[in-house]
C-alpha cells in the first residue's frame, strides 16, 4: 500500500534528519530522499504498478508527503544555521566587554539659554507667562503707546496676516494681557518666538526668540531694572562680561536704554569685527521705565505705580554665552556644532 510505504519512508527521513549535524550531511539527506534520483522519485515511477484503485490519488498523496518533508528539511537547516551562528559569536565576541555608549541628544542651546534666563527671574519672584504668536494691532501697538505712523506698523517691518492681525514682532502683548487681568504688583517674564522683516545676517533673523520682563508696583525705579539685568548677564555670561546701558527711545518706555554686552568675537576690541561692526559691543535688547500712557491704558494710576520693562533677543544672548560668531549657526542643525555646545 502506498500509505504504508510513505510512512516507512518518512520514518527513515526523520531519523536521518535527527542524525544530521552539519550542512553537508543535511544535504546528503535531501539528495537521498528528495533528489532527482531519490526515493520519492522512485515512488512516483512506481505509481503504474499500484492497484488500479490507488492510482488516481497517488500523485496527490506523494506531493503532500514531499511538502511535509521539505518543510521539515527547511526547519532543520534553520536550526543548524542558528547553532553555527551562536558558536561563531561565542568564539569572537566577549559579551562582558563594555558596549559602545548610545548617542544621546541634548537641549538645544537656544532653549537652554531661554530656560536659564527664565529661571533667573523665577528665583526673584517673577512668573513665566506664554501667549499667542498671532496678535491684533491693539496688543502689538495701540496699548503699547506706539503711534499709527510708527515704522513697525508698516508691512515693510512686520508680517501682517490681515489688516488687523500680524505675527507678533515682540512678546510685549503678554505684558498688556497680564496687566488687563491683574492689579499691581505685577512681575512677569514672557519668552517666545517673534517675527520681523529683518535681513538675515550674522546678528539678525526674521524669526527669533525673545524674552521680555515687566515689573509694576509702587516705588519701582530704574535702579531696580539695572540691577536685575546686570545680575542676569553676570549669571548667564560670567563676571568677565561687561554690561552697559545706552540712552535710547522706545514709545512704550520713558526713560529708555539699550543694553549691550562685550562682543564675544573681538572681545571689545572692535577692529574690523563683522559681528559687532567695529563697536566692540553686542546689543542684547531694549529696556526702560514703563511709559505713563501704557499704565493709563491699563487703568493703572501712574502717580501711584511705576514699572520697568525689557526685551532681549535669546539668540543674541546665546552668541555671547557660547562664544559663537554667527547667529545662523544655531539653526543649521550641524550635529558636531550642537554637540560642542551640549
Measure CA of the first residue to CA of the last residue in the chain; give whole Å.
79
Q: What distance in Å separates the CA atoms of residue 319 and residue 309, rounded to the nearest whole number?
A: 23
More confident residue, 320 or 286: 286
Q: Please give the pLDDT value at position 192.
A: 93
Lowest mean pLDDT segment, chosen from 73-87, 130-144, 214-228, 295-309: 73-87
Q: Please give the pLDDT value at position 54.
A: 72
Are the beta carbons of 308 and 215 closer than 8 angstroms?
yes
> CA nearest 258: which of 285, 282, 236?
285
pLDDT tens track for 27-66:
887 888 778 777 777 777 777 777 777 777 777 777 887 7
Q: Please give the pLDDT value at position 301.
A: 94
Q: What distance in Å separates the CA atoms of residue 209 and residue 330, rounded to the nearest whole number?
A: 12
Flag whether pLDDT at 262 surpasses 90: no
Neighbouring CB atoms inside 10 A of 200's CB total 12
Q: What distance in Å separates the CA atoms of residue 176 and residue 174, rounded to the nearest whole number?
A: 5
Q: Please give the pLDDT value at position 215.
A: 96
Say how many residues make up the chain. 342
Q: Please give the pLDDT value at position 129.
A: 95
**Max Cα distance, the chain (Å):** 121
Grid coordinates of 133: 504668536
Q: What distance in Å separates the CA atoms of residue 333 and residue 283, rounded to the nearest whole number?
A: 25
Grid coordinates of 10: 518518512
pLDDT tens track for 66-76:
788 888 888 88
Q: Please give the pLDDT value at position 90.
A: 65
Q: Please give the pLDDT value at position 1.
A: 66
pLDDT-derived band at 91 (thresholds 50, 70, 90) equals low
Q: Please give the pLDDT value at position 111.
A: 93
Q: Please give the pLDDT value at position 296.
A: 93
Q: Please give the pLDDT value at position 22.
A: 81
Lowest mean pLDDT segment, chosen from 58-72, 174-188, 276-290: 58-72
pLDDT-derived band at 288 (thresholds 50, 70, 90) equals very high
Flag whether pLDDT at 269 surpasses 70: no
Q: Please give the pLDDT value at position 177.
A: 94
Contact residues for 74 (Cβ-Cβ < 8 A; gap 6+): none
Q: Please give the pLDDT value at position 342.
A: 75
pLDDT-derived band at 270 (thresholds 50, 70, 90) equals low
Flag whether pLDDT at 92 surpasses 70: no
Q: Please give the pLDDT value at position 227.
A: 93
More confident residue, 326 or 89: 326
Q: Please give the pLDDT value at position 271.
A: 65
Are the beta carbons of 117 and 236 closer than 8 angstroms?
yes
Confirm whether pTM is higher than 0.85.
no
Residue whose C-alpha cell reads 501704557 in the numeric block: 294
CATH numbers and ranges of domains, the chain: 2-92 (no CATH), 109-341 (3.30.930.10)
Mean pLDDT across 191-217: 89
pLDDT-derived band at 302 (thresholds 50, 70, 90) equals very high
Amino acid at each position: 500500500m502506498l500509505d504504508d510505504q510513505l510512512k516507512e519512508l518518512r520514518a527513515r527521513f526523520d531519523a536521518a534528519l535527527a542524525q544530521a549535524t552539519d550542512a553537508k550531511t543535511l544535504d546528503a539527506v535531501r539528495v537521498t530522499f528528495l533528489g532527482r534520483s531519490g526515493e520519492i522519485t522512485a515512488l512516483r515511477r512506481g505509481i503504474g504498478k499500484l492497484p488500479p484503485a490507488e492510482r488516481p490519488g497517488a500523485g496527490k498523496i506523494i506531493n503532500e508527503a514531499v511538502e511535509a518533508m521539505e518543510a521539515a528539511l527547511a526547519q532543520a537547516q534553520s536550526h543548524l544555521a542558528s547553532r553555527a551562528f551562536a558558536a561563531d559569536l561565542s568564539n569572537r565576541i566577549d559579551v562582558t566587554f563594555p558596549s559602545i555608549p548610545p548617542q544621546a541628544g541634548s537641549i538645544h542651546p537656544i532653549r537652554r539659554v531661554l530656560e536659564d534666563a527664565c529661571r533667573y527671574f523665577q528665583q526673584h519672584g517673577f512668573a513665566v507667562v506664554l501667549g499667542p504668536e498671532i496678535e491684533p494691532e491693539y496688543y502689538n501697538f495701540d496699548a503699547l503707546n506706539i503711534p499709527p505712523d510708527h515704522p513697525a506698523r508698516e508691512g515693510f517691518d512686520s508680517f501682517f496676516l490681515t489688516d488687523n492681525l500680524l505675527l507678533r514682532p515682540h512678546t510685549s502683548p503678554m505684558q498688556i494681557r497680564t496687566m488687563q487681568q491683574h492689579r499691581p504688583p505685577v512681575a512677569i517674564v514672557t519668552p517666545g518666538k517673534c517675527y520681523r522683516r529683518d535681513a538675515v545676517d550674522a546678528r539678525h533673523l526674521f524669526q527669533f526668540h525673545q524674552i521680555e520682563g515687566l515689573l509694576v508696583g509702587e516705588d519701582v525705579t530704574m535702579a531696580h531694572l539695572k540691577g536685575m539685568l546686570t545680575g542676569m548677564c553676570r549669571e548667564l555670561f560670567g563676571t568677565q562680561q561687561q554690561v552697559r546701558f545706552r540712552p535710547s527711545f522706545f514709545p512704550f518706555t520713558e526713560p529708555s536704554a539699550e543694553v549691550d554686552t562685550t562682543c564675544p568675537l573681538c572681545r571689545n576690541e572692535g577692529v574690523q569685527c563683522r559681528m559687532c561692526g567695529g563697536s566692540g559691543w553686542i546689543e542684547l535688547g531694549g529696556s526702560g521705565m514703563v511709559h505713563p500712557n501704557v499704565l493709563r491704558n491699563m487703568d493703572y494710576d501712574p502717580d501711584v505705580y511705576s514699572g520697568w520693562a525689557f526685551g532681549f533677543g535669546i539668540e543674541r544672548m546665546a552668541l555671547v554665552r557660547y562664544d559663537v560668531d554667527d547667529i545662523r549657526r544655531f539653526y543649521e542643525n550641524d550635529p558636531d556644532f550642537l554637540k560642542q555646545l551640549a
